Structure 1
């Protein structure tokens, strides 16, 4: 029997990082999690005041001259980007893992896609590095380089496995390793990605697949993508993998919130996929909270409809899921990203432009679009919506700010 977890407990877990290992990773200059927000402690007022004041003490405190603070790097970049360029920062365009096709290059160069992700099997580490250099040249705008992402989970889901890349075992195997062993391995896999010019791993999978459903669960269980069949087992794998990638300086994305472990259909190939079990504050959400505590860079939202959470909207279009659960219950302040909404069958009935605007309106940031040809349509829709709706325009700006902050934390923003 699965019992809900209190929301405060999940929030505390996300903040404290408490888990089986009890450890919190330290971040280098380029690996600070995108959720990090600096705080300033206010000085404490003394509890008592001296009874007498020396005669030399002035009765008033001189006011220091007011100086205008220079605009931050992120503010400078926001001001430099046109509205269209800002919108493009929110689109992750699919390209061939072996390098951009002519059509893809045209899209990335013309639209200045803020991110790309690799589709299909790639080549060697050396050839990938060359091709990713071309991506940087095509997509960089105002000193802002693109996020370059790959599904490098292991097992059947490993885009880059040519010469120079280790063959990564499936998550079901990784989940049997000690935390120390998995963290060390993930750090090595991450270093290979970084050497190849890839700065994001769209992993780890935080979905919990009950043992009784594994054979029927097409998106995760049938592909051995889960770290375990209990929240505790999955959380340990998610935490260790995330920490290893973070040590390598590679951004990660825990996925697919609020979980694909209880569905049957794969949203890439099936429509109408529904979860009728998962509830807000569910015990199976623990691996996502652990991923956040371990320093993940993004939280990925699934395209499934969760009838006990928001029966009227797919998760990617649900403010209840994104604003209420991810940003509220889990306290996540960083980047929220979609599962693919470009080629996925689940969203085929939704106009392409609406897929982007509805996600951003719900509180999301980066839209994964496997069909490069839809990039301009999505950018057009974001621009048009921002021009006609001030509230939406403010949300778009906030999303771009979160994306630029993530990029800055990973050394992808150059400030003059």
Structure 2
């Protein structure tokens, strides 16, 4: 029997102001008490004004909008369709948007984009991402730009200005301090290029006996180790380095792809019949959250011993019960790709978005830009018909806007 992973009680992040691009401070914020007189009686040295004398009022300073007020303002300013669009992460070419992709981002105002293919170096990427920001900004809310920058065979951004990142199996042999320092350097390059999120690290544990048969992770050398302890150490160090650089991260692919054979991008019917709720192999996800990860990514695999009726990405048991309940996560939950992935091809595109949000998720990764409008429309239609779903959608948008605000992507007037 596997030892249950310890539950993590997360402290809410205190944000000091609207659009603050600095690193959030853990723990509740404290506001010093104002120094006010405790009595309305005049002192012996202060003359009492006569009825004909009117004291000059002291100007009251205008308070800066709080983080919460900022998000409230933005939520109220967005139409339902604009809110729904904040939950879709549309795939675009890393080298720059095609005309079709630009039309989608500009017309639908996708809340996020993620980069596919390869780029042409840091300077070229920075120019391309400036165009994305221009196309996707709405009412002072800029799009979140993400990339898969793990290393090894999974590195989207390459060329001049980007280090060639080794595979996680190599990173896992380094000391924690070295990996943190290297990840900070890689993160700095992403930030210079205009990328806010690294859709990494992989927190999946691949048993040594399964490595050669594990298509999505083991065969590609994406794992930090073959035990929960080894994987946890790499995940923590990577997350800390990226956070030091001001780049958001996403631990993936909850509750783990280390025990499956098929790759859900290319295969359907992928099943894990071993992993259980509270499994020891979930520890790297908890450690990544503790280290400051910004998102938790959910896999599209079906876990028969957790929820045999639903893929994890559509499972309230996985998202609400395990991620938000067992791990105590209150931040953004994101899908693995549900746009082009073979695993979900049989599910109507609109349902992929609505079922994920209904299960408690927030951002839907959609590699097929042409499906964005369909997904947005489905979210709107469901919210118009179901008040409970509408409330969930609003909660999801609030979490997304809060993440954006933490990275300086929300401007309040």
Contact 1:10 1:286 in 2 (8 A): no
Contact 2:7 2:328 in 1 (8 A): no
Q: Structure 1, residues 112-133: CA drift from partner, whole Å, max 9, x if none?
A: 0000000011111000000000
Distance 1:104 1:144 in 2: 19
Distance 2:346 2:141 in 1: 34
Distance 1:32 1:297 in 2: 11
Aligned to 2:215: 218
Distance 1:311 1:343 in 2: 23
Local SS of the residue matching 1:118:
strand
Local SS of the residue matching 1:76:
helix
Distance 1:150 1:142 in 2: 24
Local SS of the residue matching 2:391:
helix
TM-score (norm 2): 0.88
Correspondence 1:131-210 to 2 at 5 A: 131-210=128-207
* Equivalent of residue 292 in structure 2, options 277, 285, 295: 295
Q: Structure 1, residues 369-414: CA drift from partner, whole Å, max 9, x if none?
A: 0000000000000000000000000000000000000000011101
* Equivalent of residue 239 in structure 1, options 236, 244, 257: 236
Verify: 1:30 aligned to 2:29, yes or no. Answer: no
Aligned to 1:305: 302
Distance 1:408 1:69 in 2: 15
Verify: 1:112 aligned to 2:99, yes or no. Answer: no
* Equivalent of residue 365 in structure 2, options 368, 380, 389: 368
- The Cα of 1:32 is off from its aligned counterpart by 2.5
- Rg: which structure is higher? 2
- The Cα of 1:31 is off from its aligned counterpart by 2.8
Local SS of the residue matching 2:7:
helix
* Equivalent of residue 84 in structure 2, options 76, 83, 87: 87
Q: Structure 1, residues 23-52: CA drift from partner, whole Å, max 9, x if none?
A: xxxxx952328xx674779x9xxxxxxxxx
Q: Structure 1, residues 322-363: CA drift from partner, whole Å, max 9, x if none?
A: 000000000000000000000000000000000000000000
Distance 2:248 2:64 in 1: 30
- The Cα of 1:11 is off from its aligned counterpart by 2.7
Distance 1:135 1:146 in 2: 8
Distance 1:396 1:390 in 2: 10
TM-score (norm 1): 0.87
* Equivalent of residue 284 in structure 1, options 275, 281, 285: 281
Of stretches 256-265 and 70-79 in structure 1, the one that deviates more from structure 2 is 70-79
Q: How has the CA–CA distance of structure 1 residues 155 and 407 changed in structure 2, closer, same or farther, with 3 Å as cutoff?
A: same
CA RMSD between the two structures: 2.0
Verify: 1:266 aligned to 2:268, yes or no. Answer: no
* Equivalent of residue 345 in structure 1, options 333, 339, 342: 342
Contact 2:8 2:290 in 1 (8 A): no
Aligned to 2:3: 4
Specify every segment of 5 or more residues in structure 2 that has no aligned partner in the other structure, as ranges.
13-19, 34-40, 42-62
Q: How has the CA–CA distance of structure 1 residues 37 and 393 changed in structure 2, closer, same or farther, with 3 Å as cutoff?
A: farther
Q: Which runs of 4+ in 1 moved over 6 A?
A: 68-71
Local SS of the residue matching 1:10:
coil
Aligned to 2:389: 392
Distance 2:98 2:64 in 1: 45
Contact 1:31 1:250 in 2 (8 A): no
Contact 1:94 1:370 in 2 (8 A): yes
Distance 1:38 1:358 in 2: 33
Distance 1:226 1:15 in 2: 28
Distance 1:411 1:29 in 2: 4
Contact 1:234 1:287 in 2 (8 A): yes
Distance 2:23 2:72 in 1: 21
Local SS of the residue matching 1:122:
coil
Q: How has the CA–CA distance of structure 1 residues 92 and 132 changed in structure 2, closer, same or farther, with 3 Å as cutoff?
A: same
Contact 2:11 2:27 in 1 (8 A): no
Contact 1:227 1:238 in 2 (8 A): yes
Distance 1:191 1:415 in 2: 26
